[in-house]
């Protein structure tokens, strides 16, 4: 893809994300995504995270396969989930499900540190190498079971889960700071899933809201 066509594809993707945000706004409460999040989406080169055979599809607003029966998420969903955790510059964030490393790269430009957990070894290694090669040094990738979170880095200002779980793993709730935000797809592998936003108040009380129907690969481990 030529630089001109690539720039056009990026602008078209950003326009599509904005349109999807407006369409889903009544459900998500986010008819407009923050400028910081949209800038991160514009800056992170999604084509680096997809297979060479899929380069022509890299800037479409669609999930794509990355091997091992996993996918790189639809960009709108990446942008929405990022916006829902309300990332702040000094935050420490846990990502569960590194996959290709794309979501971690988006987060890296918005927060101080990202701890990312991936249960599939080859994906964890490739993502870590890719992120380092891109000069992204505030993401640490761990080959581990995401149900357990990453206790060594806890507590977290925000947690973002990129695979669906039938219930919210208790370890993730335990590792979320008071005042923190957690976004996770909840539901069975082949059944109805919903994107859920969890907030923990300063006293440690948890509230949750089901926002949007989604379809994610299962959280395994």
Active site residue 73: yes
Choosing from 34, 73, 100, 165, which is the catalytic residue?
73
Alpha carbon separation from 63 to 39, 95, 150 (Å, rounded): 20, 18, 26
Spell 1-35 as b/e; 16+ CB within 10 A means b: eeeeeeeebbeebbebbbebbeebeeebebeebee
- Tokens representing 211 are 């926002």
- 135: three-class secondary structure by DSSP: coil
- Tokens representing 196 are 């859920």
Residues serving a catalytic function are 73
């Amino acid at each position: 893809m030529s630089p001109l066509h690539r720039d056009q594809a990026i602008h078209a993707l950003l326009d599509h994300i904005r349109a999807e945000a407006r369409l889903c706004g009544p459900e998500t409460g986010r008819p407009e995504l923050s400028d910081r999040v949209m800038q991160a989406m514009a800056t992170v080169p999604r084509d680096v995270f997809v297979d060479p055979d899929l380069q022509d599809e890299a800037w479409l607003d669609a999930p794509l396969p990355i091997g091992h029966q996993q996918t790189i998420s639809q960009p709108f969903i990446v942008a929405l989930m990022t916006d829902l955790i309300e990332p702040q510059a000094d935050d420490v964030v846990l990502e569960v499900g590194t996959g290709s490393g794309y979501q971690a790269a988006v987060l890296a430009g918005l927060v101080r540190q990202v701890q990312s957990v991936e249960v599939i070894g080859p994906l964890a290694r490739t993502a870590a190498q890719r992120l380092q090669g891109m000069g992204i040094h505030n993401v640490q990738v761990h080959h581990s079971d995401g149900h357990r979170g990453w206790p060594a880095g806890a507590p977290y200002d925000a947690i973002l889960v990129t695979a669906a779980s039938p219930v919210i793993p208790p370890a993730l709730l335990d590792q979320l700071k008071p005042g923190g935000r957690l976004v996770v797809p909840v539901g069975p592998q082949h059944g109805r899933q919903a994107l859920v936003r969890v907030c923990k108040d300063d006293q440690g009380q948890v509230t949750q809201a089901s926002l949007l129907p989604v379809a994610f690969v299962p959280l395994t481990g």
